[in-house]
Structure 1
Amino acid sequence: MKDTSSPMTERPADDAVVRCTGLARTFGSGRAATVALHRVSCTVPPGARIALSGPSGSGKSTLLHLLAGLDEPTAGEISWSGLGGPPHGRPGTVGLVFQGPSLLPDLDVRENVALPLILGGTPEQTALRAAGDVLRRLQAADLAAKLPEELSGGQAQRAAVARVLAGRPALILADEPTGQLDHQTGDRVITVLLNAADELGAALVISTHDPAVLDRFTERWTMRDGTLIAAPGPGKGAPS
């Protein structure tokens, strides 16, 4: 079988936030099996700003879920050694922003933002203060006491971003975070993500269909039929 893996932004192993080698992911078995990823290899370096594009069903979400440690590959290896995490299992320094609604309906925004910290062992009052601080930095303090049902799509996504940032991740992953937003609101969400990544010194990988979002990233990857393809952005040379 032909090896379709692509060396993406390859760097020395000690200079990688996350490194994947020959990842494959198949859902189901037998005739019902669906191959979502085909032997994908990639490296996310510190401080990366990567936009991942491709049609629906090309494997973007599957790859992001593997990078986040929310799913396990059928074959291949993934390591977060650059984050100080274990070679297997999700490290706590990865944050994922989902495309759709992800806030718990019975909690207000501040409680939603604080929840991952509380579940991670942070005392409740400390977590709530941290959540309030993040919301203020994102100019969303006015949302703190609102329930998710009271939020617009853009406000809900900003709250979801705040929840991720409260954990101060070293790697931020965002799966089509503007897919359900109008252009202006989506642009603000991308600005929030970029600014937050700068503030935290975090790597940022975002999947998107939006050409306007792609234009804001200097490094672009493309997925097609479960295969990762290199595509240098403006000012970038071809990947080695």
Structure 2
Amino acid sequence: MTGHGRRPLVAGNWKMNGLRKSVSVVESVRARLTPDLTDRIDVLICPPSTLIASCVAAAYGSPIAIGGQNLHAKASGAFTGSISAEMLSDLGARYVIVGHSERRAYHHETDDGVHAKALAARRAGLCGIICVGETQEEREEGRTLDIVRAQLAIGVPKGATATDTVIAYEPVWAIGTGLTPTPADIAEVHASLREMLTSLIGPEAARVRILYGGSVKPGNARELMSVENVDGALVGGASLVAEDFLGIAQAYAR
């Protein structure tokens, strides 16, 4: 367990990767997860929406949860190509990523939009993983804490709880680049996010998990996951390879 009994979460985000044969990754992770590890952590895989149902079937009866990567704030309607929280839940998803930096950058998602999507996730009984993070330019300008705290302040719905909300800090400049902040930098950001959460939702903030994401690999996972207030990882490319994803989860092995 991490601080205040927070159970670590190791989550994989496949992004726009994966065909039907990729379900074998879920099967491989399932076959190689040990009870010793799953007694200590939660494991989540977020495939593209085309594979959610197949991955739910592959994970059925195991400790692996399946989630979505995005959602529309409305429950239904004339929104061609979109998927609602209710649709994700109906497929068997239990989590959904909200406000990933790639959605913010390429689809112009705003903090207010993130807030609406987080509310939609709660409405459908999903746990929303709300992403925050700064660009390289913002970091160089010394604005990291201002940026992530502002994103959090608007994105997190009133009354958020540890059951329906997870926070993920992903510095934009570290995603897929092989670069990572120092442990001290990560500790500073996560402590600031915890403080902001406390001002937003009170004592419940101590129970909400805050993940780190951005070039997490088996070789650096143990160091990164040992940082104070880091309650797990949101893993990108490494989650597409069962051995690498499991190697990151092993950071929590006894």
TM-score by length of 2: 0.38
Bigger Cα Rg: 1
Greater strand proportion: 1
Scaled by the length of structure 1, the TM-score of the pair is 0.40
Greater RCO, 1 or 2 (C-alpha within 8 Å, sep 6+) = 1
